[in-house]
Amino acid sequence: MKQFEESMYQLIVETSTVLPADVRDAIRKAREQEDQGTRAALALSTIAGNIDSAETNVSPICQDTGMPTFVIHTPVGVNQLEIKKHIKHAIQRATADGKLRPNSVDSLTGANSGDNLGAGTPVFHFEQWEEDQIEVKLILKGGGCENKNIQYSLPMELEGLGKAGRDLDGIRKCIMHAVYQAQGQGCSAGFIGVGIGGDRTSGYELAKQQLFREVDDVNPNEDLRKLEEYVMEHANQLGIGTMGFGGQATLLGCKVGVMNRLPASFFVSVAYNCWAFRRMGVLVDPQTGEISKWQYKRGKGNAMAAADEAAKEEKQPEKRREVVLQAPITEEQIRDLRVGDVVVINGLMHTGRDALHKYLMDHDAPVDLNGHVIYHCGPVMMKDEHGEYHVKAAGPTTSIREEPYQGDIMKKFGIRAVIGKGGMGAKTLKALQEHGGVYLNAIGGAAQYYAQTIKKVEGVHFLEFGIPEAMWHLQVEGFAAIVTMDSHGNSLHADVDKDSLEKLAEFKEPVFA
């Protein structure tokens, strides 16, 4: 199979940079349904442009290229060890070429392998089948949406929905609750795969298997078909919306599978996937290793941006206050901002994620952060022949992980603005009030959109943490985000959570007999 490694490289690059046609269609429909002039409409417009830019630039749609997970069907007699070896080589090459972010981290030492290889990385699921070709499917599921996976053990009490029993109605409640709890932290509007039954491990695996189904397929099980249709109709009535900004589109796809269980156990496992739903598949000739067929229709061209422009022409968006800020930023400038303002940042910005926040709690910062901006981001970086770094992808990561640290670090170093996605909690909100700070929500997954605003990498500290966790110093121009938590105690995230919980309670009564 001389061409197999090259075929796997093509599969990885395509999965990372091009959304399949069924996913694009779902996003396009959401864009058409959303009210013009809203924060959600603005987010979907950015997403549409980002999808087209990623394809044009052959660069990652989202900087978090996740844990590469391969599902492989082989004819009897095919050497699976050779397949693993070639895929690992292709993974290393794609990482070196900036198509994948180095995401394999030693769980004990925190060291990043740098090439996406390590114990358990990538993930392989092999099965034999009676076909004469090799099928390889790949999903790249980022950490933000992976963290919003959830597993329920029935019977149980669910917030807003009451008792969920061991029946179809209890399952319905679990799925609705799973959508609610994801909010904007999983980069909604999203897709969910649901696994009913099994044990804790096989249930999650079944849920993830559902994500390989096409968005518009029909479940052959009549009960599950009705369940999927119910969830799609009613989850979008929760009002969570794109990025958790509120709006019409919260869920873009729901697929449910079922397997037998133990008498004592009844698990409902939900795998949440963001709008950047990166999964592809190929059939490969076992003799030559060449791709004979792509398993999903590949979405090509600039149809996303074209559809977005058409929507804008139908109805002009409402005017929204736009404020341009240049770091260092004063407390007076921050106190003038309110939830809903669009902030455009020019000048210097610093990235910081989990490792840096933990470090800064007990150490001094390597640069002056007074009046400056911290961006929750783990970019994809490439070094040129002159030793200079260039940004290949740079969208926000989920901010809530920094909740234990953020307020203290802002006060300690005089940081005035934090950028991320999904919002933060009460501790940070209180610190914003006391210190004079603001939280800005960038559009999750829009890694190409934000990479284009980064004009130069000024430097880097803590490369020993790994590229995603290092502290990058970036010169930006026209970096736009929305104020969702201000210095006056207002939080859009808390408001949407409260409203969606109230709406969730409307689905408490039984539906399926």
Tell me the domain boundaries of the chain: 1-141+278-319, 143-273, 322-496
Split at pLDDT 50, 70, 90, the class of 319 is low
Q: Give me the mean pLDDT over the 3-21 stretch.
A: 97
Rounded to whole angstroms, the Cα distance separating 456 from 419 reads 18
Quick: pLDDT tens for 240-255: 999 999 999 999 999 9
User: Of 3.20.130.10, 3.90.180.10, 3.30.450.20, 3.40.630.30, which CATH number belongs to 322-496?
Assistant: 3.20.130.10
| Token pair listed for 417 | 């603005």
Chain segment 393-452, per-residue pLDDT in tens: 999 999 999 999 999 999 999 999 999 999 999 999 999 999 999 999 999 999 999 999
The answer to whether the Cα torsion of 327, 331, 333, 334 is positive or negative is: positive
Q: What is the mean pLDDT of residues 258-279?
A: 98
Residue 212 confidence class, pLDDT cut points 50, 70, 90:
very high
Instruction: Read off the tokens for 303.
Output: 């149809």
pTM of the model: 0.94
Mean pLDDT to the nearest integer, 210-235: 97
Between the CA atoms of 113, 89, 382 and 470, what dihedral angle is there, to the nearest 10 degrees?
-10
Q: In this structure, what token pair is assigned to residue 366?
A: 């390597």
Q: What percent of the chain has pLDDT over 70?
A: 96
- Note whether 266 and 153 are within 8 A (CB): yes
pLDDT band of residue 35 (cuts 50, 70, 90) is confident
Give the model's pLDDT for residue 317: 53
DSSP state of 294: E
Q: What is the tally of helices (H) and strands (E) in the chain? A: 15, 20
* pLDDT higher than threshold 80 for residue 308: no
Residue-wise pLDDT tens digits, 325-373: 999 999 999 999 999 999 999 999 999 999 999 999 999 999 999 999 9
How far from 495 is each of 24, 235, 246, 486, CA to CA, in Å?
29, 18, 9, 13
> Is pLDDT at 314 greater than 50 in this prediction?
no
Q: Which of 35-49, 93-107, 182-196, 209-223 has the lowest mean pLDDT?
A: 35-49
Pairing of strands 267-273, 291-294: unpaired
DSSP 8-state assignment for residue 403:
T
- Give the chain's mean pLDDT: 95
Whether 149 has a pLDDT exceeding 70, the answer reads yes
For residues 76 and 303, the model is more confident at 76
pLDDT score, position 413: 98
- The pLDDT, as a whole number, for residue 513 is 72
For residue 412 the two structure tokens come to 């300690």
Amino acid letter, residue 462: F
Task: Give the total residue count for the chain.
Answer: 513
Beta carbons of 185 and 421 less than 8 angstroms apart: yes
* pLDDT tens track for 454-472: 999 999 999 999 999 999 9
Q: Is it the case that residue 302 has pLDDT exceeding 60?
A: no
Sign of CA dihedral 251, 66, 302, 296: negative
What residues contact residue 169 under an 8 Å CB cut-off, 6+ apart?
510, 511, 512
Alpha helices (runs of H) in 354-466, residue ranges in sequence order: 354-362, 406-413, 426-435, 447-451
Under DSSP, is residue 218 helix (H, G, I), strand (E, B) or coil?
coil
Read off the pLDDT of each residue in 195-224 and give the average, rounded to a whole number.
Answer: 97
Q: CA 356 to CA 368: how far, in whole Å?
A: 15
C-alpha torsion sign, points 390, 395, 398, 399: positive
Place 299 in a pLDDT band, splitting at 50, 70 and 90: confident
**What residue has token string 């807003």?**
160
Across 127-142, average pLDDT: 97
